[in-house]
Amino acid sequence: MKKKALIFGITGQDGAYLAKFLLKKNYIVHGVKRRSSSLNTQRVDDIYLDPHKKTNFFLHHGDLTDSLSVLKIIEKIKPNEIYNLGAQSHVGVSFDVPEYTANVTALGTLRILDAILTLKIQNKVKFYQAGTSEMFGASKPPQNEKTKFYPRSPYGIAKLYSHWITVNYREAYNIFACNGILFNHESPLRGETFVTRKIVMGLCKIFLEGKGMLYLGNLYAKRDWGHAEDYVKAMWKMLQAKQPKDYVISSGKQYTVKYFIDLVCKELGIKIFWKGKGLSEKAFWNNKNIISIDKRYFRPTEVNSLMGNSNKARKELKWTPKHNIRSLVKDMVTEEINRINKLSI
């Protein structure tokens, strides 16, 4: 009998990659999406078929802020595995909407775990909770499973609640529940407001049009970047293990935002030069200013340095990423150029 997976956050980057991965593993995949007046399924359109036809992929309306909808969906689907990837996941936005971020990102996790208990299926289902390196925040790198948490944003704090409530329900009620503490992972499906996608989109447009301006914030924030395609495999591997544990998933390498920009420019064949310091730092191409700093994009409390140590996952789960930062950038740039060219036809 085929396994059934239920994914909260199906329309996001990770949800889309995970769904496609599980379908290849011969799962029946159910995804939960919020009701919207506009279609928001672009990332899964290539696998979503007419529900009247035979398919192993199904979408359901639901909301992590609604306990009853969460419970009803789980009761209806009776999944073998639940992946909670749903969240208000933009760090900068979390400062503007901290209450909403907490309601979705923190309490949403609690609602799923409580539904598992209410339905008395704690011995029949496995649960994955999507954690984040933002929970480490100001802690010194490299960060691993034993590193002290020190979140620096409402998003990081909400995720930390989710982390500990998952641990608590695992220990109190013997639920097979795992936290994946994933460091930054990107792809061509990354949301357009996230810095890596914003950089790729902006520079590709400038390259094709020969003009334009890209405004950014902290160029010297250091991050550990991987590819989402690799990281969703780690999620699945956690739920196939004999015992539920928490794992850091990362590349183990660290680069600045400025270095990421330079890699994108190299991939495009753009030779830029930098001039100035601080808020006055700018990048030029063909004697045209194409990148400038806007202080509005700095966070109220910055996280300056993140780099993970994923030795535990590599050893126990036999997880090995196939991408590095250069192949990630190449993938993002190639797909962005293709997307822009299709729109111009």
Range with the lowest mean pLDDT among 43-57, 107-121, 238-252, 311-325? 43-57
Per-residue pLDDT, 44: 73
- Whether residue 182 contacts residue 249, with contact meaning beta carbons closer than 8 Å, is answered with yes
Top pLDDT among 177 and 36 is at 177
- Whether residue 104 contacts residue 64, with contact meaning beta carbons closer than 8 Å, is answered with yes
Per-residue pLDDT, 37: 46
- Tell me how far apart the alpha carbons of residues 116 and 105 are, in angstroms, rounded to a whole number: 18
Instruction: Say yes or no to pLDDT of 46 above 90.
Output: no
User: What is the CATH number that goes with domain 195-219+256-302+333-344?
Assistant: 3.90.25.10
Residues that are catalytic: 132, 134, 155
- CATH superfamily of domain region 4-188+226-253+307-321: NAD(P)-binding Rossmann-like Domain (3.40.50.720)
pLDDT in tens, 284-310: 999 999 999 999 999 899 999 999 999
Same topology for domains 4-188+226-253+307-321 and 195-219+256-302+333-344, yes or no? Answer: no
| C-alpha closest to that of 182 among 241, 133, 148, 251 | 133
| C-alpha closest to that of 341 among 196, 207, 189, 193 | 207
Per-residue pLDDT, 39: 55
What is the arithmetic mean of pLDDT over 226-233?
Answer: 98
Q: For residue 342, what pLDDT band results from cuts at 50, 70 and 90? A: confident
Greatest distance between any 2 Cα atoms in the chain: 66
Per-residue pLDDT, 268: 97
Q: Name 103's Cβ contacts closer than 8 Å, sequence gap at least 6.
A: 65
pLDDT in tens, 120-158: 999 999 999 999 999 999 999 999 999 999 999 999 999
What is the arithmetic mean of pLDDT over 171-197?
Answer: 96
Q: Write down the mean pLDDT value for the chain.
A: 94
Per-residue pLDDT, 52: 59
pLDDT in tens, 255-285: 999 999 999 999 999 999 999 999 999 999 9
What is the arithmetic mean of pLDDT over 103-111?
Answer: 97
Strands in 288-293's sheet, in edge-to-edge order, are 214-216, 288-293, 282-285, 273-275
Q: For residue 51, what pLDDT band results from cuts at 50, 70 and 90? A: low
Per-residue pLDDT, 189: 96
Task: Provide the 3-class DSSP secondary structure of residue 53.
Answer: coil
Q: Which residues pair with 288 in a beta bridge?
A: 285
What are the structural domain ranges in the chain? 4-188+226-253+307-321, 195-219+256-302+333-344
pLDDT in tens, 15-45: 999 999 999 999 999 999 986 545 566 677 6
- Tell me how far apart the alpha carbons of residues 226 and 224 are, in angstroms, rounded to a whole number: 7
Per-residue pLDDT, 1: 84
Per-residue pLDDT, 34: 81
- Tell me how far apart the alpha carbons of residues 57 and 170 are, in angstroms, rounded to a whole number: 29
DSSP states along 68-86: HHHHHHHHHH--SEEEE--
Confidence (pTM): 0.93
